[in-house]
Structure 1
Amino acid sequence: MPGTNREAKKMRLLQALLILMLPMAARAGGDPAHGQVLYRSQCMACHSVDYNGVGPAHKGVFGRRAGSLANYNYSPALKAAGLVWSETTLEQWLRDPEQLVPGQKMGVMVQSAQERADLIAYLKTLNP
């Protein structure tokens, strides 16, 4: 069978490519354990999981309307933004909060796309 050897080579090449891509696919959704490390080192100066500080608490952030936690003094811009926190809105927020909501108060941006994904994966674990 003349084409069998060529097909076998194509199949082996495809398998090798898939194996090489697995680690990237696993990280694409974010690593919550690394996100927790990042949260503790970069976010906890202002935020807490359970209580408001300089920034609002993050427990239960997914699905929550932005600017809606009681007992936290949000900027008028964030209160009026009408955002609901999701993977998409959190990614945009962490990348550049001022671009998403001009006039907001957070002065920190997360430059790395992977770190944003990891932080978001960790924040997801905080929803009851």
Structure 2
Amino acid sequence: MRGVVFVALLAVAGAGEASAQDAAAGEKVFAVCKACHQVGETAKNVVGPVLNGIIGRKAGSVPGYSYSAANKDSGITWDEATFREYIKDPKAKVPGTKMVYAGLKDEQKTSDLIAFLKQYDADGKKK
């Protein structure tokens, strides 16, 4: 009986943590990122690199962008977990990064931002 109650409690606790990703809400979160980054077929490197195809991409690898040595040498390949850590506190995840952003602490906004970014392949086309 104890085991059943424990499993039920875990299921309820886990359901509270699970949050759906909302690309439309993520586009609103990306409005802050637009000051430095672009996405889409016509995206260009500006203050920061293009974010097309970021999930699955090696850090420091966008052609034509001048990355910090810390970013290029980080050994990071962006996946959702790594991106979450980074966007929460970029300077803690990659000391020496050029990214001057205090961080996105809200988990739901981070999930939504990831959903928005995942829409774009490496060429900036929506999947």
User: Partner letter of residue 90 of structure 1?
Assistant: F
* Residue from 107, 116, 123 that aligns with 2:110: 116
**Structure 1 segments (4+ residues) deviating >6 Å:** none
| Structure possessing the higher radius of gyration over alpha carbons | 1
Question: Deviation at 1:104?
Answer: 0.4
Q: Does 1:31 align with 2:52?
A: no
In the aligned structure 1, how far is the partner of 2:83 from the partner of 2:23? 15
After TM superposition, the score normalised by the length of structure 2 is 0.76
Q: What is the distance in 2 between the residues matched to 1:94 and 1:30? A: 16
2:46 matches 1:53:
yes
Cα RMSD (Å) of the superposition?
2.0
Q: State yes or no: 1:44 paired with 2:34.
A: yes
Larger relative helix fraction: 1
- Percent identity between the aligned chains? 40
1:56: Cα distance to partner?
0.3
AA aligned to 2:37 is H
**1 CA distance for matches of 2:26 and 2:78?**
17
Partner of residue 107, structure 1: 100
Gaps of at least 5 residues in structure 2 are 1-7, 122-126
Q: Deviations over 1:68-99 (max 9, x none)?
A: 11100000000000100110111011101111
What per-residue deviation string (whole Å, max 9, x for no partner) do you get for residues 28-75 of structure 1? 142111001111x20101100121000000111111100011100000
Stretches of structure 1 lacking an aligned partner (at least 5 in a row): 1-13
Contact 1:29 1:121 in 2 (8 A): no
Aligned residues: 107
